[in-house]
Amino acid sequence: MTRRVPCPPAPGLLEDYAAQFDDQFASVAQRRALREYLHGLLLQRERNKTLTGLAGTEPVLGAQAPPAQRLQWFLSEAAWEAEAITARRLDLLIGDPATRPQDGGVLIIDETGDRKDGTQTAHVAPQYLGSVGKIANGIVSVTSLWADEDVYYPLHVLPYTPAKRLAKGMDNPPSVPSPNSRSS
């Protein structure tokens, strides 16, 4: 059996958390990218929700920088199962007494929409976008979240697919897609 190549550790206590996902990633590059992604999410940056912000590079020119390219590869091309990562994350949250769901908590279902140009991206179509308060070209995601007096965290996120984007339109049989799969 081949010994796994160790991954450079994430800063501080983040390493203990990230290491719990190592068995979900086949390569050291993927394990390293997970750590960089998590680290980028936690840093206090003005743009930590953009690829260049996560990577700590400049908005336009920085997109070609190696840190941004590594994260782009990890998020869009690397083979890993987002559903398995979500399941592990939820197991860890539910297993910890500090974050375990408590009596008096609630399940929140919400949707959010963002404008998107073009039609090449899956799920994009003219549809009602709450963020702009009208029908516009964009993408809508449905989110479930757990919240109680002490904690709140996301459970699942799924994109909404307008009937216009389905192969058989309104006649398409209902199903729950697996849009988060990163397998190739």
> For position 148, what pLDDT does the model report?
93
Check: CB of residue 85 under 8 Å from CB of residue 24: yes
> For position 1, what pLDDT does the model report?
60
> For position 11, what pLDDT does the model report?
92
Residues facing 134 on adjacent strands: 129
> For position 44, what pLDDT does the model report?
86
Give the SS3 label for residue 78. coil
> For position 131, what pLDDT does the model report?
85
Q: Hey, what's the torsion of the CAs at 66, 27, 155, 18, to 10 degrees?
A: -80
- At 132, which amino acid appears? V
Residue numbers in the chain where pLDDT is lower than 50: 178-184
Check: CB of residue 35 under 8 Å from CB of residue 16: no
> For position 119, what pLDDT does the model report?
80
Angle, CA of 21, 27 and 29, to the nearest 5° = 95
> For position 106, what pLDDT does the model report?
95
Give the SS3 label for residue 155. strand
